[in-house]
Structure 1
Amino acid sequence: MQNPERVELVRLRLGLTKIGFAQALGIDRKTLQRFDDGSDLSQAVLDRLCRLSGYPEDFFLKRSLEYPNRDGVSFRSLRSLTAGARDAALAAGALAFELDDWICDRFELPAHSLPQVNNASPGEAAAAVRSFWGIGERPISNMINLLEARGVRVFSLAEETRHLDAYSFWRNEKPYVFLNTAKTAEHSRFDAAHELGHLVMHRHTGSGHKSAEDEANAFASAFLMPPADLLAHVPRVRCLDDLIVGKKRWRVSVAALNYALHKIGVISDWHYRSYYIELNKLGRHIEPNGIEPESSQVWAKVLTALWRDGITLRHISAELSIPDRELSSLLFGIAAPASSPVNSRELRVVK
């Protein structure tokens, strides 16, 4: 029997309204409603759905998927996020659960070591997490790898919308972060630190209150650019070029560095606004001297280990009945090696 909830997930991933979805399938709204109420789609309509979505027929015959709990999800840029983009991202989360559970049946991934920091300012919370992890005040070379080493599941999103940056939540004592790879690398690093702030500061209080986003932003700034390290390496700023050169140490955007130095008093109000105006003239989506995007080490190791056992992303796709393009978009586009795999009997445990 066809599962209406799985058909609905595909509609959300396609970003279509119910009316647009029915039109794309060549049926009227009432036919789609009857399907939602328990009637099966005809084989002809099901075939059109498979062609439209790229999902195999088997996908629509399986049990319902688990979605991230909306009440527990922290969305960055929530105020400007459309319902369609939000729902498509949550549907991607449901697919990620399927993939993550499949991987966890075969691999032992790192358990999380995230402290919970309550009743502290964002700056204090950032310092507490750095202290708990023993990383002092040195710059963080790779945010994704740092999170993964502490047991955070980091997935990518290939959502073509400027309004969706990232989101995070807890599931079965596991922290999850989803990052939109359409952003600049500097933007994505800040997003990752921002979501870490939600995970450690707002797990029990929720992130729905008005100050939550500001708190997560302040956490990310202090976590990526500890104030003492900023003062030690950028005691003064004479022009925008000083910011462009200085940002390399912390691998952040010029705008983020401008904000952080203004907050600790290195940059005056007037210069802060002047540099912001200069940056806008360059283009809001252009980052001077941009860095290379970060990627996942954990998923690269998992895919490599599977490849050695003759299992490719296409095999996983067939087993889960999820198009490999969807899986690839969740795994930072990481592909298995191009040459033919060598078979072996046991999968390696990733530690």
Structure 2
Amino acid sequence: MKPPEQLRLVDPHPAGTQSARLQAVADAFDPARLTQARRLAGLTKRAVADALGVSPAAVGQWETGTTPRLDHLARVAEVLDVSPGFLAAGRPYARLDASAAHFRSLRSTPAAQRAKAIAFTEQVWELTHALEKRIQLPPVDLPGFSGGEVDAGAVPADPAAAARLLRDHWGLGREPIPHLVRTMEAHGLIVTLVPFAGAETAKVDAFSTSQLPRPVVVLTPDRTNDVYHHRFTAAHELGHLLLHHDANPGDPVQEKEAHAFAAELLTPREAVEPQLPSRMDLNALDRLSREWGVGVNSLVYRCREVNVISDAAYRRAFQRLNQLRQLGLFKKEPVEGYPGERPVLLRRAFGLAEQHGLALRELADELHLPMARLRLLLGDDDPRPELRLV
């Protein structure tokens, strides 16, 4: 009688195969990808070194060109939550220097978070590039912009004049802009609104760059409890893209110019000035606020700017506003109620590519990204429960 055959379980990833894969990554190891992965993880070289049991100097050498041993390569990928293939060359990569982005809150933004924000923006571009190989995205239509550069001579240096130029270029006239973020996306700008740095995202605030093949504006969810502030922030970053091709992050002059641009873009002086009340009237400003999509605070400032009210009346108006808000009046309205102010370009581009055969897993493998990271980049993070009609 023959003994029963023994069931043999075969390892689907034999050690030899895994070793060969790691060797292939080592042969094409890209130090810049290691730096990018480390910054995305928000880790210092010392933190990575401690996790691996090596010296910070060793990690520094890897980031300047020395290839890690295979066991270190596998472990560092695990620590940084990427696949080993992420650390290899062989796919498009647009490198962005931190000095090329406009960070509004530069002094209060830790350097590690700025580095994480830059690495995130690089990944946004990679995702955009991957989708653009399959889907025709709206062409970039920004005065003076071409291939990651802005011609300074194409846009007036005066912020208000630049805002009027953009309105004319985009055919917006002097009317209120109903959906600013959607308008930006329709003209080829990439806008994102995701917690790319987790709980630390609030420390970064909005930022933008025109030094990639497509301009990128990164808005942060911590400000979305107020749709009017959110719209002003988007307009502010748009001002940086047009006015400040030579970025000087945190520069107070550039910040002031971007504010002036945003005010004129959202509330053109020639159109809104005749509508401002001749005396301080918060009810009238509340109605104008909803019509123009700006905060009452912004309109109070506009009243003072055009000399409708005195400095004393200006201060009293803000005191009164604060009192009323403490009573639950003039409440902030969240962005969730305004779909036109939430970015959709990347998510809809993937949806169209998916209809033509692109699977989410295929895209994740192409970019060497975890599925959760790819969903984040696509903006698939709406916190509201979804109503399904059957």
> Normalising by the residue count of structure 2, what TM-score does the alignment of the two structures yield?
0.74
Is it true that 1:177 corresponds to 2:217 in the alignment? yes
Tell me the alpha carbon deviations over residues 8-52 of structure 1, each in whole angstroms, 9 at most, x when there is no partner.
Answer: 212211222222232244443244244335141453x44444444
> Aligned ranges for residues 54-65 of structure 1 at < 5 Å?
54-63=81-90, 65=93
Is it true that 1:154 corresponds to 2:191 in the alignment? yes
| Matched AA of 2:140 | H
- Tell me the equivalent position of 2:21: none
- Tell me the equivalent position of 2:176: 139
> Aligned ranges for residues 86-97 of structure 1 at < 5 Å?
86-97=114-125
- Tell me the equivalent position of 1:289: 332
For 2:310 and 2:374, the matched residues in 1 are separated by 47
Is it true that 1:115 corresponds to 2:115 in the alignment? no
Percent identical among aligned pairs is 30
Is it true that 1:102 corresponds to 2:118 in the alignment? no
Secondary structure of the corresponding residue to residue 223 of structure 2: coil
Secondary structure of the corresponding residue to residue 174 of structure 1: coil
5+ residue gaps, structure 2, are 1-25, 145-153
For 1:206 and 1:3, the matched residues in 2 are separated by 28
Decide which moves more: 271-280 or 58-67: 271-280
Tell me the alpha carbon deviations over residues 200-226 of structure 1, each in whole angstroms, 9 at most, x when there is no partner.
Answer: 2223x5456652111111000110112
Structure 1 position 242, deviation (Å): 5.1
Residue-pair matches, total: 332
Secondary structure of the corresponding residue to residue 182 of structure 1: helix
- Tell me the equivalent position of 2:305: 263
For 1:276 and 1:163, the matched residues in 2 are separated by 26
Change (3 A) 1:173 1:61: closer
> Aligned ranges for residues 210-221 of structure 1 at < 5 Å?
210-221=252-263
- Tell me the equivalent position of 1:249: 291
- Tell me the equivalent position of 2:276: 234
For 2:282 and 2:48, the matched residues in 1 are separated by 49
Change (3 A) 1:326 1:269: farther
Q: Which protein has the larger Cα radius of gyration, Structure 1 or Structure 2?
A: 2
Q: 1:122–1:215: 8 Å Cα contact kept in structure 2?
A: yes
Structure 1 position 279, deviation (Å): 5.7
Tell me the alpha carbon deviations over residues 278-303 of structure 1, each in whole angstroms, 9 at most, x when there is no partner.
Answer: 666759xx982314242234223312
| Matched AA of 2:220 | N
| Matched AA of 2:143 | P
Is it true that 1:321 corresponds to 2:368 in the alignment? yes
| Matched AA of 2:219 | L
| Matched AA of 1:150 | H
For 1:249 and 1:291, the matched residues in 2 are separated by 17
Change (3 A) 1:172 1:17: closer
- Tell me the equivalent position of 1:73: 101
The partner residue of 1:85 within 103, 106, 113 is: 113
Change (3 A) 1:255 1:49: farther
Change (3 A) 1:42 1:173: closer
- Tell me the equivalent position of 2:207: 167
For 2:52 and 2:321, the matched residues in 1 are separated by 46
| Matched AA of 1:292 | V
Change (3 A) 1:237 1:79: farther
Structure 1 position 166, deviation (Å): 2.3
> Normalising by the residue count of structure 1, what TM-score does the alignment of the two structures yield?
0.81
**RMSD between aligned alpha carbons?**
3.0
